[in-house]
Structure 1
Amino acid sequence: MTDFPLCDLFQITPKEVFARRAFLDLTDEDERHLATIREIIQADLDKIVGEFYDHLLKADELKRFLSDRRTVDRLQATQRDYLLSLGRNADQLQYFEDRLKIGITHERVGLKQKWYLGAYAILFEIVSRHVGARYVHQPNDLLRLLSSFKKIVTLDMVLAVETYYQATTQRLEGILQQLTDAQQQLQEVSRLDGLTQVSNRRFLMESLEVEWHRSVRFTRPFTLLLVDLDDFKRINDEYGHRFGDFVLQRTVAVMRSTLRPADLIGRYGGEEFAIGLVETDGDLAKQIAERLRLKIALSPFESEGQKANVTASIGVASVEPDVDRVEMLIERADQALYQAKSGGRNQVCIYRRPYP
Structure 2
Amino acid sequence: MDKSKFLRVFTDCYLVEGDDGCVIYDLTRLKLISITKITYDVLKEIDGKSIDFIISKFGNNIIEIIDYFLTEEICFLTDHPENFPKISEDIYFENECYSAILEIGSSSQYDYVKVINELNQLGCQMLLLSIKSDSNITSEEISKIFNATTNSFLKCIDVVIPSSFENVFSMDFFNQNIRVNSVTYLGSEEFKTETNENYVSIKRIKDEELNWTEKIVPTNFTFTLKSFMESKKYNTALNRKICIDEFGFIKNYINHQEHFGNLSTTDVSISQVFRSSEFQKKWDIHNDLIEKCKSCKFRYCCFSNSDLHYSDEKWYKLNSCENFEPVKVSAN
TM-score by length of 2: 0.24
TM-score by length of 1: 0.23
Larger relative contact order, structure 1 or 2 (CA cutoff 8 Å, min sep 6): 2
Higher helix share: 1
